[in-house]
Chains A and B, each alone.
Chain A
Amino acid sequence: MTAIRTGWRRGVIELRQSFTNPGELISHFLWPVLMLIALYFLRDKSFGATGFALGALALPSMLGMNAAMGMVSMSQQLTADREDGTLLRAKAIPNGMVGYLVSKVVSVAGGLIADLAILLIPGLLIIGGLSVGRPEAWLTLGWVLLLGLLATLPIGAILGSVFTSVRSQGLMQLPVLGLIAISGIFYPVTALPTWLEWIAQLTPIYWLGLGMRSALLPSEAVAVEIGESWRHLETIGVLSVWAAVGLLLAPVVLRRMARRESGSTVASRRERALRRVG
């Protein structure tokens, strides 16, 4: 219990650090600002003959994508913490690993929610045509986000355990960008060939985007979606499968990864990293 509370406090400290240092503040604001600029230019465009504003379709989708990106930041942070010895310190302390994991969930999820607000609040001012006056909108947004985090953070932790250096994390960027491209974030997925549509529907990114659209768009907008339905049941189904797989596998993979950590493994990674610099 102490470890969970201590981990919670650790996460809060890390969040505060992340929002009080200039370098990270830039990264918190850079992407939302770029997206908002894109939204600004999309504000008068509409999707095909349907007459729906492309900007209004894109904003919830971007929120969904950003939520799914928690997976990437979880993975990156875990790899970085392993490389620099943070994880080994946690291992050397009683219940340190529990505290560490709780803190990661708190800081990654907390940072993510803050980033979503940074995008959503100005986004609502730029884009009209969203239906945010209803309490159900926020309720839907809440459960989609929660389920989305459950689906993506454990997968991120698994990926973070698999990559052994911050550098090799770069390998992950390309497929992730590919998945984003086909997941209906910037353009409705129904405009894609059917086989790509199918691949997109295997990813949590698509379902997070769909869920966010279902929360924030007026009900007529459902016409753009596959089967002209918000498919809440399917959303819950697919995200739950991801969550279940992640939550089952993550402890095993994390434990295996942590077991291998020792002073000499950290030292050898440090040497490798320093050689690259030198």
Chain B
Amino acid sequence: MTRIDEVVLEVDGLRMRYGATDVLHDVTLRAHRGEVLALLGPNGAGKTTTIEILEGFRLRSAGRVQVLGMDPADGDERWRARLGVVLQSWRDHGKWRVRELLAHLGEYYVPYSTAERQRPWDADELIEAVGLTEHAGKKIKTLSGGQRRRLDVAIGIVGRPELLFLDEPTVGFDPVARYEFHELVQRLAAEEGTTVLLTTHDLDEAGKLADRILVLTAGRIVATGTEAELTRQIAGQDEVRWSIGGRRFTESTEESTAFVRGLFHQYGESVAELEVRRASLEDTYLTLVRQSEVAR
């Protein structure tokens, strides 16, 4: 039986080495059922490598990895059926029609249907869930880039996965498509209890979607926590701006409330144009990336 606090993903001391270069040094992470995790980091940090190892598409050099209770290196087809992988499409299956392809790919999941999880997802319902109903009968090569990405997502979840991997899912999405995609991911996690691991370098996306953010730079997880925790832990500095008698001032401080209080105490009514900008995830992220570049 599945429990709410069930650990779905457990990675301990994961290392990856190509020739003489270490791409991943010591990645440790853990995800529970229904949790959305964002792996945030600059290009080349090792996000894709990490996710490909967890998907069972790449063999690791060292470390312990458990995905849905199995080592991905010996993952069998039953294990594979519980996993969803959203791939970046290019021009594959161009001659297929949207509905035809989803119905076909769904057939592979029929033997893995359980009482808890009816597999596969009904093609028409799935098409509606990703907003492709109008395009269900179209040939895939005639879809726009955004429509293709939605189809990629649909292919990734056609087997009603317990764990879903998304590698930079919203690259090339317009704001509306992005918003709809975020809704879909949140619904999967909340209603289906799907655990989601996504990689992104979009800070807003990570902040909006993820229960927990892991910042990966140069092959190491340098910080982990909720958006609020990360901002508090790392950037920590709010920015206070004000003016007195037309002169502008700026001050960075960890204690913005106390600072403003002091300001009023000292200058009273003459404090004008007061503005407090809370440290943002962006500041946190930039600080972390800079630190890791200095360390290198």
Contact = CB atoms under 8 A, between A and B. Distances in A.
Interface of A: 2-3, 6, 9-10, 13, 17, 21, 81, 84-86, 88-89, 91-96, 99, 261-264, 266-267, 270
B80 interface: yes
A88 B100 CA distance: 19
Contacts of A262: 52, 55, 57-58
A58 B157 CA distance: 53
A13 B87 contact: no
A85 B104 contact: no
B208 interface: no
B107 A84 contact: no
Interface in B50-64: 51-52, 55, 57-58
A95 B77 contact: yes
B260 to A, nearest CB: 49
Contact of B81 (A88, A91, A94, A261): A94
A85 B90 contact: yes
B109 interface: yes
A214 B296 CA distance: 73
B259 interface: no
- 7 closest Cβ contacts across the A-B interface? A262-B57, A94-B81, A86-B92, A94-B77, A92-B85, A84-B92, A6-B107
Which of A9, A81, A86, A94 is most buried by chain B, counting CB atoms within 10 A of its CB?
Answer: A94
B90 A266 contact: yes
Contacts of A93: 80, 105, 108-109, 159
B167 interface: yes
Interface string B88-123: 111111011000100011011111100000000000
A96 B104 CA distance: 11
A13 B107 CA distance: 14
Contacts of A96: 108
B268 to A, nearest CB: 60
Contacts of B95: 17, 21
Nearest to B82: A94
B221 interface: no
Contacts of A3: 108
A266 B90 CA distance: 9
B111 to A, nearest CB: 5
